[in-house]
Structure 1
Amino acid sequence: MTATLPHATGHPVRWRAVAGRLLAGAGLLTAVALLPWLSGNDPARTVLRARSADQNPTPAQLAAVREQLGLDDGPLAHLAHWLGGLPRGDAGVSWVSGEAVLPQVTTALSVSLTLMLGALVVTVAVAALVCARTVHLGARRRLRRDRAGTGAAVLAALPKFVLASLLATVCGVWWGLFPSSGWEGPQSMVLPSLALGIPSGAMIGGLLDQALPAAFHEPWARTAYAVGLPPRHIARDALRRTLPGVLPQLLPTVVALVGGAVAVEQIFNIPGLGRLALEAAVAQDLPVLQTATLALVLLGVAAGLLIRAARHALLGRPLRDGSLPTLHRPALAPPRSLRWVAGACAVVLLGLVVAGLLRDPAQVDTAARLVPPSLEHPLGTDALGRDLLARLGHGALRTAGVALAVTAVSAVTGLLLGLVPRASAGVTEVVATLPAVLAGLLIAGVTGPSVWGAAGAVCVVGWSPYAAQSAALLEQERASGHIAASVALGAGRGHLLRRHLLPAVVPALLRNALLRLPTTVLVLASLGFLGLGEQPPTPEWGRLLSENQPYVELAPWTVLGPAGALVVLSVLAVSASALGREKATRA
């Protein structure tokens, strides 16, 4: 049974992780190399259109482009040529502009890394604010109830591109506090850092806030209370105990701040790596896309190694010696007001859906374009004069259904892969670097644009946060003393998994999934907005946000409705999770 209790990382494990990173990276780069041929469009036509916006090129022009780019040689020949030039510092030239690729990617990466550092500062600050009350009460032994994390759910549900538009309009244009466009100096990074860091910090802080009560009820904490240690020492040790389980969530967060911040970069006109990769993918500029993808992969692997080293440094010898106390414990009673919060959110959502279903979502009234809320149109109208309440109600089931299905598949996949961390560690780091937009382009090239193609793209990349979390929590649980005692008493692998490991991982995984639910809705919306997912005029919440985002300054009510619905859905999900834990504990 010693094979089920790995406390130290040996050479075979390291080599297996290295092999996983190499194989996953090679597979990703190969898939990117196939994109122009998978898309179903003539690569020569796409490149020529990106060069000159010529919609009807002649056969002679197309033949010249094919010969110039060597498209008849196939994708593998291009990939081999590109890889052969990398050791010499040559990443090729852009198919569209004809300029060297490496300086473009280097410049964009430096911009994105600077923005990432600013966003990380905001993320840490918001996470600290979210869990500050729990730390204060727990350190003084005043924590008596589980908190639902509704504040974190509200902030995490804020759409980043809507928040970016509001910050650019209010703080940039109206008040003139910071630049609202361009990348000219340190002041230019303030507003985009806030737009990226506030939702990310709320998610990280919410996970930490939900893990802290277990740390404050461990034996060491009770001993510290009894001997009268200062609260600041107890708070510090509790944070050190819970941070390793949350740190893996920084990996997809860091990568999302670099490669997935396309919408924010476009709103603030920032020449970052995510924007460069998206433009290259749309134009099928293969050398630029491959180099940008490689930069993201290297960044993700480096971040994964740093996070793994930080986790082991925080846990120290107990992780190696198998003497960690378990963080799994029965749930405390949630606040009584939580039932009222959950009930109010359910009533509001049900009322919106029922009222919207009674209206026609496709009726266009050109005389009532961008009308503010009134008795006739309680949520106002959009740019085509369509009733927003009707579109919100008719899009509720589709939005919630697809997002829940994607979240469930991603969480289960992540849990299964997290159970075999030795084999999945490297793959998780590489997949976490793949922006959902790029995955959507690859899948749409095979299946065509559809809502389920977009859902598949999100599933392809969406399992990595859950796998990282599961692997981290399992590593800590396997190093706890009660696991060693169970093994000594003859417990088998099935018993350990069913009675000890899964009960310690699944509740935290579920809370993570519920916090990420609004993000899933928005990622699906971004794919639909790019023509890779849900197609208009089908009503869908995320698409309502994307379609109405350009009008946020002129008609803010066009985004307030779907954004508020996302917030209410998120709070309801988190509240239901807390009430479900209480019911399961009583049972």
Structure 2
Amino acid sequence: MKAGFIRAAGLAAVLAVVGLLPWLSGRDPALTVLRARSAEQEATPEALAAIRADLGLDAGPLTLLRDWAAGLVRGDLGTSWVSGTDVGPSVVVGLQVSLGLMGAALAVALLVAAALVVPVLVRGRSRKRGGSGALAAMLASLPEFLLATVALLVCGVWLAVLPTSGWQGPAHLVLPAVALGVPAGGLLGQLVADALPAVLDERWGELWRGSGVSGARVAAAALKRVLPPLVPQFGMVLVGLTGGAVAVETVFAVPGIGRTALGAAKSQDLPLLQGAVLALLALGLATGVLAALVRRRLLGPGLRDAGLTLPAPRPMRVGPLLPVTLAAVLLTVIGWGLLRDPYAVDTTVRLAAPSLAHPLGTDGLGRDVLARLGHGAAATVGTAAAVCLLSFLLALVLGFVPSVASGTSDIANSLPPVIVGILVAAVLGPGTGGAALAVALISWPPLAAHAAALVQEVRASGFLLAQKAIGAGPGWILTRHVLPSVAGPVARHAVLRLPGIALALASLGFLGLGAQPPAPEWGLLLDESRAYVERAPWAALAPACALAMMAALAVSLAAYAQARTTGPARPSRAGARLPEAVTRAL
């Protein structure tokens, strides 16, 4: 009950932030409207005051929120400050396009997931996690904006087999659906493929096979056994499609709701931004409700209250060589780039191919790509480290109040980083600080879940009872036993999430919500190179390869850590083993 109340309060707080965007924005909305209505009219105090009175901005935040909520009840989303048209039709049209794209992406995701799961069913319980498991993890870790850029470069520019922009027919749907669906399919396939071998090892599977039941029936029963506990995570994958759609729609110029929200944030068209963000939030919440209903349907009336859990998945066998090699390559490139000037402009060598003077070529202004790659990595990783630290400290605090952590994490999990980034940019403006805040706001839920699980485990241990019996006070127990047992594992978990946080920051930079030119940031480098990708593909390939290596490093680090924490030789102690929910998230 308490967690449900916190969920409702968190949702109300998010809606209040959306409703108060015109008041929270640091810039004067009246100036934006004046420029949209007449670029030649002088911004006199009288003209701005008249516009504020017309928009109702002088009434105060509570009146503004009340009027906005009343409009929602009537189905009125307001009037665009830029175009002067009703927001509702624009949101509906964009939502229809995005739903079509997400439907096609979901079909691609299911095909990719099936391709990853079928080999597991064919090999049965004898399958050892290896090639296909690593492939699924790699596909799941690919950022949508990176895959979209590579697909545009290869299929649209080099091979010229598919259109690269627009929304005129089925052919224009292929590349966006693939870019959005492949990472989702990799994650779906990874979730199912990870759980199947342990399920096939259960007692019922041995009995069925010993009784001569066909392999097809055993496989069907195993899938039925696996799906209900994973449905909530499937819902989170679908929620992630709403965030990924923003980047994909931007790359391929698809007029969907994500691109509409991003454009409204950049132009400070706050009524249109409010409507677009509300539509994206509604999509995420509807997906969560649908996932809960599907899970109840799959469980049936007998197991709805008891629920159903899965055995721990078999760890992927990854040694230290792969993450060490990837880290060494990235550090070498970063260190080499740090020795060069990332801001030196030489227009005589614009878009120069890789050479001894410029090992990775130059960009549209003649700046050295290697230098910008190295300095961009240092800034991105440094910001990601600060976000990790903030998420770690927040997780330690919330770990001691699991009901609060559970309720607020549900809201945070339903908000992709891009959506939070759009809201933060509308309030604070685009920039590195705003991007870091946006990622930090949704980075703590997995860490808080891990901390809460460890706190419960330590509090239930026998040695704490002994400490209380000999007269140890609560402060002594907290500082000498509970915190050391929780802080170490959660800190290692936070470090494992560092590459993923760096990728999230890069995605916001790619969309123009993070670092601003001329800052050398990886996502921004990839975005800038799109303007001349046909003439100088190496300018896009350099940050793309660096981001892909970062994704591979995140996967290999997580797999190596999971294999170590779930290995049979590890001693059993508080904090030595990651909880099952956390290992699945990794």
**TM-score between the two structures when normalised by the length of structure 2:** 0.79
Distance 1:529-1:55 versus aligned 2 partners, 3 A rule: farther
Match of 2:95 among 91, 109, 114: 109
1:44 lines up with 2:56 in the alignment: no
- Deviation string 1:212-235 (CA, Å, 9 cap, x unpaired) is 333333333343444443333333
Distance verdict in 2 for CA 1:148–1:363, change over 3 Å: farther
- Contact 2:21–2:427, Cα closer than 8 Å, also in 1: no
Q: Which residue of 2 aligns with 1:495?
A: none
Pair 1:359 & 2:343 matched: no
Gap change, CA 1:239 and 1:96, over 3 Å in 2: same
Aligned residues: 546
| Separation in structure 2 between the aligned mates of residue 180 and residue 229 of structure 1, nearest angstrom | 50
Counterpart selection for 1:194 from 178, 182, 185: 178
48, 58, 70: which one pairs with 2:44?
A: 58
Pairing 1:541–2:522 present: yes
In 1, distance between residues paired with 2:224 and 2:493? 23
Q: 1:262 aligns with which of 243, 246, 250?
A: 246
Specify the alignment match of 1:208 in structure 2.
Answer: 192
- The answer for the alignment partner of 1:553 in structure 2 is 534
**Residue 89 of structure 1: aligned partner:** 75
Q: Distance in 2 between matches of 1:412 and 1:194?
A: 38
CA distance in 2, matches of 1:414, 1:127: 32
Classify the secondary structure of the residue corresponding to 2:126: coil
Which whole-Å deviations, capped at 9, do the CAs of 1:118-148 have from their partners, x for residues lacking one?
A: 11111222223234433432x2x32245669
Note closer, same or farther for the CA distance 1:379–1:153 as it changes in structure 2 (3 Å cut).
farther
Within 5 Å, give how 1:170-319 maps onto structure 2: 170-172=154-156, 177-258=161-242, 260-316=244-300, 319=303
SS at match of 1:96: coil
Taking a change above 3 Å as real, the CA distance of residues 214 and 24 of structure 1, as seen in their structure-2 partners, is same
Correspondences of 1:430-445 after superposition (within 5 Å): 430-434=411-415, 436-440=417-421, 442-443=423-424
Q: CA 1:303/1:429 → structure 2, altered by over 3 Å: closer, same or farther? A: farther
Contact 2:151 2:175 in 1 (8 A): yes
In 2, Cα distance between equivalents of 1:91 and 1:571: 43
For residues 19-64 of structure 1, give each alpha carbon's deviation from its aligned partner in whole angstroms, at most 9, with x where no partner exists. Answer: 4454333212221233233332111012222344559633343233
Distance in structure 2 (CA, Å) of the matches to 1:249 and 1:50 = 43
Q: Does 1 or 2 have the higher relative contact order (CA < 8 Å, sep 6+)?
A: 1
Map Cα deviations across residues 443-476 of structure 1 (whole Å, 9 max, x no partner). 4576665534321211223456788x989x99xx
Q: Does 1:565 align with 2:551?
A: no
Percent identical among aligned pairs is 48
Q: Verify the 8 A CA contact 1:101 1:287 in the aligned structure 2.
A: yes
Counterpart of 1:57, as a letter, is A
Q: Distance in 1 between matches of 2:553 and 2:85?
A: 51
Contact 2:353–2:538 (CA under 8 A) maintained in structure 1:
yes
Tell me, in whole angstroms, the C-alpha distance in 1 between the residues paired with 2:399 and 2:297. Answer: 21
Note closer, same or farther for the CA distance 1:306–1:154 as it changes in structure 2 (3 Å cut): same
Q: Secondary structure at the match of 1:261?
A: helix
Please give the residue correspondences for 1:358-377 in structure 2 after superposition, counting only pairs within 5 Å: 358-377=339-358
1:191 to partner: Cα distance? 1.8
Matches within 5 A, 1:146-157: 149-157=133-141
CA distance in 2, matches of 1:439, 1:161: 17
User: In the alignment, is the contact (CA less than 8 A) between 1:131 and 1:208 conserved in 2?
Assistant: yes
SS of residue in 1 equivalent to 2:438: helix
The AA in structure 2 aligned to 1:440 is: G
Q: 1:340-359 to 2 correspondence within 5 Å?
A: 340-359=321-340
Moved more, 190-199 or 256-265: 256-265
**Conserved in 2, the CA contact under 8 Å of 1:517 and 1:570?**
no
2:476 is aligned to none
**One-letter amino acid of the counterpart of residue 248, structure 1:** P
Which range moves more in the overlay, 369-378 or 192-201? 369-378
Q: 1:326 to 1:86 in 2, by over 3 A?
A: closer
SS at match of 2:293: helix
Partner SS for 1:371: coil
Gaps of 5+ in 1: 1-11, 479-485, 491-497
CA RMSD of superposed structures (Å):
4.2
2:229 and 2:398 map into 1 onto residues whose CA distance is 16
Q: Is the 8 A contact 1:526 1:546 kept in 2?
A: no
User: Structure 1 CA distance, aligned partners of 2:373 and 2:185?
Assistant: 28
Distance 1:345 1:176 in 2: 32
Contact 2:523–2:543 (CA under 8 A) maintained in structure 1: yes
Match of 1:334 in 2: 317
Give the residue type in structure 1 aligned to 2:18: V
- State the partner residue of 1:381: 362
Deviations 1:489-519 (A, max 9, x none): x9xxxxxxx99xx99xx99x969x96x7666
Work out the CA distance in 1 between the residues paired with 2:287 and 2:296: 14
* Pair 1:521–1:339, CA change in 2 (3 A): closer
Counterpart of 1:574 (choices 555, 560, 584) is: 555
Q: How far apart, in 2, do the equivalents of 1:510 and 1:316 lie?
A: 35
Counterpart secondary structure, 1:372: coil
1:125 matched to 2:114:
no
User: Alpha-carbon deviation of 1:535?
Assistant: 4.0
> What are the ranges of 5 or more consecutive residues in structure 2 without an aligned counterpart?
466-480, 571-586
Q: Quick one: distance in 1 between partners of 2:493 and 2:119?
A: 23
1:72 aligns with 2:58: yes
Residue by residue over 1:368-414, the C-alpha shift from the partner in whole angstroms, topping out at 9 and shown as x without a partner, is: 22122223322222222222222223333433343355467658868
Take 1:324 and 1:333, find their aligned partners in 2: how far apart are those partners?
24
Q: Which residue of 1 aligns with 2:477?
A: none
Q: Which amino acid aligns with 1:208?
A: V
Query: Does the 8 Å contact 1:47/1:283 carry over to 2?
Result: no
C-alpha distance 218-404 of structure 1, shift in aligned 2 (>3 A): farther
Pairwise CA distance, 1:193: 0.9
Structure 2 Cα separation of the partners of residues 383 and 569 of structure 1: 25
Q: Is the 8 A contact 1:115 1:193 kept in 2?
A: yes
For 1:242 and 1:418, the matched residues in 2 are separated by: 29
Q: Partners in 2 of 1:170 and 1:56 — Cα distance?
A: 48
